[in-house]
Structure 1
Amino acid sequence: MTTPTIDIELSAPVNLRDLGGIPIEGGILREGLALRADDLSVITDEDAQALVDGGLAAVIDLRTNDEAALTGRGPLAGYRVAYHHLPLMESISAGMPDGDAPVIEHVGMGEMYARMVESAAPQLASALGIIALAPGATAFHCAAGRDRTGVLAAVLLLALGATDDDIVTDYARTSPNMPAILERTKPTIGALMARLGFDLDAMAAVTISEEPMDIAMHTMLARLRERHGDVLAPLRAAGLGEGTISRLRERALA
């Protein structure tokens, strides 16, 4: 069954940033290779034009099928920008905690990220290949630009030789943006959750642990090393080759 569309409220992204400037093997990641973002399907026409003028060549959409069906590609569909839909979860309910008025714990989030790397390794490997071969900048996004986007950013930075500390620092930069992110995503995520049968009043009672959110990324990296030795092992098993990693590193330092 197709998810019904809604009246879409366009707005500027509030968690968009270029990964340029992060130390990687051999130097500093240049600007204009990879951008991470919150939902790019509901940006304004002006923001779409600015991204294209800045060199955007490809978009990787990490949202679920239901999310993508709700809003489509948005204004960027009107430009010559390649679009790749690589959902990292089957349903957004996979990221919802259980229980009455639960607290979202960052350790639990990190464990979910680790499972995501394992279960969505083919999509993540494909995403790295797209970034390696795109003729310009690639932007990747989910809804908030934190969880699924943070997982792809982490494996990209690992492939480029960044340290854990720098990966965690980038991930944690989203923390101050969370109030604006929640406000921006409320119209679309709220409508989708209602149509999927979730109790929005119960969801409103969910609280987030006051511990630093960087715990989640530290946990993901630790769990994957405990289970695989190499964080990128699931992606390598899914087809990520040294040729793609070499191409990424060449482009990142050019």
Structure 2
Amino acid sequence: MRWIDFEGAVNVRDVGGMPTADGGKTVPGRLLRSDNLQGLTRNDVAKFVDEHGLRTVIDLRTTNELTLEGPGPLTEVSTVRHTHHSMLPERGNATDAAADTFESRRERILAMAPDDIVCGIYLSYLADRPDSVVSALRTIAASDGAAVVHCAAGKDRTGVVVAMALSAVGVQEDAVVADYAATGQRIEAILDRLRSTPTYAGDIDRLPVDAHTPRAETMAAFLRHLDTEHGGVTEWLAEHGFGGTDVDRLRYRLLAD
């Protein structure tokens, strides 16, 4: 995992080089993860496309977020494919930071993980939008260049999809958890970016910085739940139509030189 610095995004990294249980490693330049891409500069776009070979953008924001934020700079690049897979129910304000998004689902989320509300939110993504999780992973597997997964902060929705992808191809669990938690290194800069746009500004400071900071224990609990309740990530995926052939394609994409 390595950070990539941009002028208009602060939470971008390549998940290449991560160790697998069978002694392999993920290949650099195949799967990137990011916060919101709306602020990319002209130089950033050229760096993404020319230096990092970006060909696919996997946007996990809601339709409401896309409408409020408007087209991002990468939509002007004809060689970059854009796909949209919302991880939230399409109702209310429908941003990950919006108060009504959580309040409308509070009881159900707490029932899923009473000891870790954030883990419960992650499990609710799987319960509410399994179609989006599966579609996002299929899009990663089908990319002919680098694919970037992003949401608003590049922390929660992105964290879940990337963790599912890495786990499905056999990346060691401690490495998956460490990649998720790495976002905490840049949480102040991420929150500053979100405060700069009316779409997210109103909800960011409802909680202290510590509450926004990803905890390794949360991702570990999320993966443990999948192990306990479903037999693991690949088994959950199989239950939702992402079978052996799909996993093979994803493995080939992320692991084969």
Fold shared, TM-score > 0.5 on shorter chain: yes
Structure 1 unmatched runs, 5+: 1-9, 99-104, 195-199
Distance 1:232 1:117 in 2: 13
1:48 and 2:57 correspond: no
Q: State the TM-score, normalized to the length of structure 2.
A: 0.82
Give how far 1:95 is off.
4.7
C-alpha contact 1:110 1:215 (8 A) present in aligned 2:
no
C-alpha contact 1:117 1:151 (8 A) present in aligned 2:
no
Match of 1:242 in 2: 244
Distance 1:212 1:61 in 2: 20
Distance 1:133 1:16 in 2: 21
1:1-254 alignment to 2 at 5 Å? 12-24=8-20, 25=22, 27-53=24-50, 54-79=52-77, 80-90=79-89, 91-92=94-95, 93=98, 94-95=101-102, 107-188=116-197, 191-192=198-199, 200=202, 204-207=205-208, 208-209=210-211, 213-252=215-254, 253-254=256-257
SS in 2 for 1:135: coil
Distance 2:29 2:212 in 1: 34
Distance 1:211 1:67 in 2: 22
Identity, % of aligned pairs?
35
Identify which range, 204-213 or 120-129, moves more after superposition. 204-213
Give how far 1:227 is off.
2.1
Give how far 1:225 is off.
2.4
Distance 1:210 1:185 in 2: 12
In the alignment, residue 37 of structure 1 is paired with which amino acid?
Answer: S
SS in 1 for 2:233: coil
Q: State the TM-score, normalized to the length of structure 1.
A: 0.83
Q: Which has the higher contact order (CA 8 A, sep 6+)?
A: 1
SS in 2 for 1:215: helix
In the alignment, residue 55 of structure 1 is paired with which amino acid?
Answer: G
Q: How many residues align?
A: 231
In the alignment, residue 227 of structure 2 is paired with which amino acid?
Answer: R
Give how far 1:127 is off.
1.1
Given the superposition, is the C-alpha separation of residues 187 and 95 from structure 1 closer, same or farther in structure 2, using an over 3 Å criterion? farther
Identify which range, 67-76 or 170-179, moves more after superposition. 67-76
C-alpha contact 2:61 2:86 (8 A) present in aligned 1:
yes
C-alpha contact 2:183 2:214 (8 A) present in aligned 1:
no
Give how far 1:111 is off.
1.8
Distance 2:212 2:242 in 1: 36
C-alpha contact 1:121 1:238 (8 A) present in aligned 2:
yes
Structure 2 unmatched runs, 5+: 1-5, 107-113
